[in-house]
Every structure is written in structure tokens, then in C-alpha cells.
Amino acid sequence: MRLFVAVRLSDEMREALLSAQNALFDRGVRGNFTPEENLHLTLAFIGDYPDAGPVLDTLEKVAFRPFALTLEGLGCFGDLWWAGLRGSAPLEALARRVRRALAEAEIPFDRKRFSPHVTLIRRAAGKLPGTELPPASMTVGSFSLMRSDRGRHGMIYTELGTRKAEPAAE
């Protein structure tokens, strides 16, 4: 099964991202727009792995406290267009902890440098127009192990387990 570790987004965050997608579409951008239910922030991409159980056990050991996540800017990696996230030490630390835990458990994952973003469009055509990203923030209180399956109309993501944050410090 194809696995990845992700932060699932709040309704407010997804609405802001959908608004950005609609604005891009209205400006003539075409491509494969990420469906609302698939919008997420990837912390680590594992890829094909035979058993989710050891991955879930490993992720259960990753401790973190709730933190804020804020949308900031649009960008692209070639024909993949994304919404950026404001630089955040707690987000960087969480990605580092997740990846370290996977490495220590000898669970293979894509070791590309963590670049926090939410994919909006794949195979986008043209130049990125000057579109504003609506303001949106959320509190990250959990992350999830997700399975990715190819469906008739694109990818289907299924949550296999969630790791909740430790209670916030007083």
C-alpha cells in the first residue's frame, strides 16, 4: 500500500485553498486541481509499504504540542502549483521528529528536504498569475497516516490512524 504522513487541514484552511483554486481557474489556469477532500500537508512520503501496523506504532512515539499553521503565498515546482505555509519552528520540528522516527524504525521514506506546501494543481499550464491567497490559519492538533489508492477519478486518500498532540503547556 502507498503511505504518507500528513496534517489534515481544517475546514477554514480548505475553504481558503478552494477559493485560491477557483481564482486560478477564473484566470484561465488549467490542470489537475486537487479535490477538496485530498488537500493536506505532507510531513513524510513513505510510498509502497506492506504493512501499516509498524508505521502506526512508530508514529505513536512522536510527541508534539499543538501549534499554529498559516497559509502564506503561492508558488510552483515546475507544473505543480502549491500554497505555501508561513515558516514555523514547531512545524519544522514535527516533520523532523516524524522523519527521525521513521528512519530509526527502518521504515523507508522520501528523504527530500521538507518543503511545507499544499498541492493545489498538478500539470498546471501557463505562468502562475498574481493571485492572492486568502488568509487562513489553523491549530495543528494531530497528524495522520494516510493510504493513497488510485480510483476511477483520481487518487483516494484514506486515514489509517491519527496521532494527537500532547496537551498544550500552561
Positions annotated as catalytic residues are 40, 117
The C-alpha cell of 83 is what?
A: 500554497
| Cβ atoms within 10 Å, residue 153 | 7
CB neighbours of 74 closer than 8 A, spacing ≥ 6? 20, 81, 82, 83, 84, 120, 128, 131, 133
Helix residue spans in 3-72 (DSSP H): 11-26, 52-59
Sign of CA dihedral 141, 47, 59, 162: positive
Spatial separation of the C-alpha atoms in residues 121 and 30, rounded to whole Å: 8
| Cβ atoms within 10 Å, residue 86 | 13
